[in-house]
Every structure is written in structure tokens, then in C-alpha cells.
Amino acid sequence: MRGLSLDWRRSLVIRIITTFVLLSIVGIALSGVAAFGAAKNNLPLHRWVSVESAASLTCAGGSQSAGQSRLAVGSSGGTARLLLEFLACDGSERQLGLDVFVVRSEGSFELTVRDHETGETIVRRVRPTSFAEFALSGVKLRFTVAEQYDPAA
């Protein structure tokens, strides 16, 4: 009987130690999962500026679409090149290459659009909720500048 009670005590101690170790491992794992979830929810947002453009031509029969594009520039603005290829009113193929510069400025954006060939340049101040409409090299252009937020990658 004496040998049996010693084995029983040893078995009980081993079970207690094993249970403690397993519960510690589970606790560490759960705290890691909780920390990862909390860190994921507190990720900073990545801010960037999008520039949407639409071009149209006014011909004898009315206005026709000449193309549209969406560009992404940096968080405080940036530069992008845009190439519009379209059919002119006489049916000939035409290209309009544009340099688009966007700078953040006190609650709005300063938009500068320059024609590659002629150098003609238009500068407009654009609010995030509105658009800028103007003609450049015979093409009517409409630009919308907006601030976008995405989770940082």
C-alpha cells in the first residue's frame, strides 16, 4: 500500500505541473492574439490624393467624350503624367499629353495642368468637394481632387 500511495502522489504532482504548463501556454497564446488584434485596429491610416479627370470635345453636333483617367499622387500632393488619346471632331486621331501637379494648400489643393506640346498651363485652386473645369489646347477638361485614406500596408 505504501508504494501505491507514493505513485498516486507522484502522478498527482505530474498532473498539476502538466496542467499548469498547458494553461500557461494557452494564456500566452491568447494574450498574443489579443495584442495582435489590438495592434491591427490601431494601424495608422495611409493618406493619399486622387486626381480624376474627364475630357470632352465640343463639335458641331454637340459635346463628345475624349477620355477620362484617375491618378494617385502622394499624401501632400505630387506630379503625374497623363496621356489622352481620342478622335478629334474631324475624325483624326489626336493625343493630348498633360503634366498634372497637385499641392495641398490650407484646406484645398492647387492644381496645375500643363500641355506637353504647347506648354500652355492652367492653375486652379480646387476644394476637395468641388471640381475645376477649363479648356486646354481646345479640349474641355474637368478635374476633381480628393483626399483618400487607406490602411497602411
Does 28 share its domain with 53? no
Does 24 share its domain with 69? no
Q: For residues 125 and 65, which has the higher predicted lDDT (pLDDT)?
A: 125
- The C-alpha atoms of residue 85 and residue 87 are separated, in whole angstroms, by 7
What pLDDT does 70 receive? 81
What pLDDT does 87 receive? 79
Does 27 share its domain with 69? no
Does 97 share its domain with 23? no
Does 38 share its domain with 62? no
Does 66 share its domain with 23? no
What pLDDT does 136 receive? 85
Q: How many domains does the chain have?
A: 2
The mean pLDDT value for 107-114 works out to: 88
pLDDT per position as a tens digit, 45-59: 667 788 888 888 887
Q: Is the pLDDT of residue 66 over 80?
A: no
Does 36 share its domain with 54? no
Q: Is the pLDDT of residue 63 over 60?
A: yes
Does 66 share its domain with 29? no
Does 62 share its domain with 101? yes
Range of weakest confidence among 2-11, 12-21, 124-133: 2-11
Does 73 share its domain with 29? no
Structural domain boundaries, residue 90: 45-151
The mean pLDDT value for 86-109 works out to: 84
Does 63 share its domain with 75? yes
Does 78 share its domain with 143? yes
> Which among 142, 103, 139 is positioned nearest to 120, based on CA atoms?
139
Q: Is the pLDDT of residue 3 over 60?
A: no
